[in-house]
Amino acid sequence: MLRDGLPSPVGPPDPLDSLLDELARVSTLPLERGETLPARAYTSDSFHAWERERVFRGDWLCVGHVSQVARPGDYLRTDVLGEPLVITRDESGGLHALSRVCRHRFMDVLPPETTPEQGTLKRLTCPYHTWTYRLNGEYAGQLAGAPLMNEVDFDRAACRLPRHRLEVWNGLLMVNADPGAPALGPRLTRLDAVLAPYRIADLVVAYTARWENVPANWKVAFENGSENYHHMGTHAATLEPVVPGKDTVVEECDGRGFSMFTPFADEPPGEPTAEPGAEPTVEPGADGEPRVGTLIPGLGARQSSGMTVAGLFPNLVLALVPDSVTFLRWIPTGPATHDALATVLVPADAADQPDYAAYVAASRRQLELIQEEDLVAIRGVQRGLAAEPGPSGGRFSHLERPLWQFQRYLADRLVDRSAAPPQAGATAAAGQRGNQ
């Protein structure tokens, strides 16, 4: 059911098999004949359930940045498709992705009603019966305390919070629920080369913005964020004068992700005027507000002269400019709803600038303005997808090559039917659970 008055499809949904057959077909087309996915891929309950199982429960997902768990004892609370997790840095500096579900009677050990999203602690203590866990996630001895359990048959050594796999990729915290999934880092060497000049691991979080229950399928939003073609329409008064979509060059677009580069327009307002390697400065915009913060150190002429956009399938996009890196995630909460998160990273010494607070406030306003423009397009696309009969697919521009590659990724994850698809009804409730 679409929200905010959007129409719902009428009649029985297409069978999952027919959708997968169509996905297999379009994923083999060359770019010059590439087609968009069928509308039902953005509205079908069964397709959504299959995506949750084969894409989001079996692939690497970004949950944060290393600066959020920089010191021993730091933690970051997060949810991955309804799975309550906590990222911890233990006393030895090791990072872990642990379940937040107490092994006693299933209580969330860090309930959002009473605990901050991130902070520092020595142990994870369940507030229900005060069972206490060490931060290291090891089997032997993780349970540090379980009051009044001495008179029952209870093996403390075997009691631990389940772990998800965790990798740090370019400073981003990546988790995977599949213990058999291939490691992430070795497959991303080409993207690593694109991102390396920005030293993302050395940056720190300035802020995170959230938009919950956006009334559109997550793929609509991810695809919107994966091309600059729409700058000339959706962002005609904001992004287009600074990073014209027509000037975008899509560079890497194979395997797990993509990258593209757009040079800044001549003398764009509020962009950095310093030469590469110059002292970091904060430049005011026309209204006197700071538009450019402390520059990321060590950037070359190319990175200083434009915007890089990089994406990692299934749902991560990074926008990289001389003073900041923004990473965006779109998390499905239902067949036609999602949550959107945007985290802005800046150099570690940016906060030392006297007008840092003004810069952050201006940055947040600009981000929210651009997101509101995107939401008009995203909601509008979802309304069109919900029309009956379902519209047939359109053709891609060369600037939409990342979407064409995204189809190949989806086909690789979804078309193999060696595992039986879950029943949509059995997963509908799970599909409505929110995520960070």
Give per-residue pLDDT as tens, 134-144: 898 765 457 78
Spatial CB neighbours of 201, under 8 Å, sequence gap ≥ 6: 66, 168, 170, 171
Tell me: do 89 and 205 sit in the same domain. no
184 within domain boundaries: no
Tell me: do 44 and 96 sit in the same domain. no
Domain-ending residue, one of 112, 136, 169: 169
Q: Does the pLDDT value for residue 279 go beyond 50?
A: no
- Among 244, 366, 358, 353, residue whose Cα is nearest residue 295: 353
Tell me: do 75 and 55 sit in the same domain. no
The pLDDT of 279-305, averaged and rounded, is 72
Q: Which string of b and e fits 204-228 if b means at least 16 CB within 10 Å?
A: bebebbebeebbbbbbbbbbbbbbb
Tell me: do 144 and 279 sit in the same domain. no
Q: How far is CA 91 from CA 69, 86, 226, 253, 348, in A?
A: 12, 16, 39, 40, 23
Give per-residue pLDDT as tens, 194-245: 999 999 999 999 999 999 999 999 999 999 999 999 999 999 999 999 999 9
CATH code at 151?
Answer: 2.102.10.10
The pLDDT of 262-279, averaged and rounded, is 58
For residue 75, the SS3 value is: strand
Q: Does the pLDDT value for residue 88 go beyond 50?
A: yes
Tell me: do 145 and 195 sit in the same domain. no
Tell me: do 153 and 215 sit in the same domain. no
**Strands, DSSP E only, in 81-123?**
83-89, 95-99, 118-120
The pLDDT of 58-84, averaged and rounded, is 96
Q: How many domains does the chain have?
A: 2
pLDDT band at 147 (very low <50, low <70, confident <90, very high): confident
122 within domain boundaries: yes
- 8-state DSSP, 217: -
Torsion angle, CA of 201/202/203/208, rounded to 10 degrees? Answer: 40
| Confidence (pLDDT) at 5 | 43
Q: Does the pLDDT value for residue 270 go beyond 50?
A: no
Tell me: do 347 and 205 sit in the same domain. yes
375 within domain boundaries: yes
147 within domain boundaries: yes
Tell me: do 341 and 249 sit in the same domain. yes
330 within domain boundaries: yes
Tell me: do 255 and 156 sit in the same domain. no
For residue 398, the SS3 value is: helix
Q: Does the pLDDT value for residue 431 go beyond 50?
A: no
CATH code at 376?
Answer: 3.90.380.10
Can you tell me the distance from the alpha carbon of 330 to that of 217, in angstroms, rounded to the nearest whole number?
9
Residue-number span of the structural domain to which 141 is assigned = 61-169
Tell me: do 230 and 340 sit in the same domain. yes
276 within domain boundaries: yes
Indicate the pTM of the whole model. Answer: 0.87
Spatial CB neighbours of 99, under 8 Å, sequence gap ≥ 6: 83, 84, 85, 86, 161, 162, 163, 164
309 within domain boundaries: yes
Tell me: do 131 and 222 sit in the same domain. no
145 within domain boundaries: yes
For the chain, what is the mean pLDDT? 87
Tell me: do 210 and 245 sit in the same domain. yes
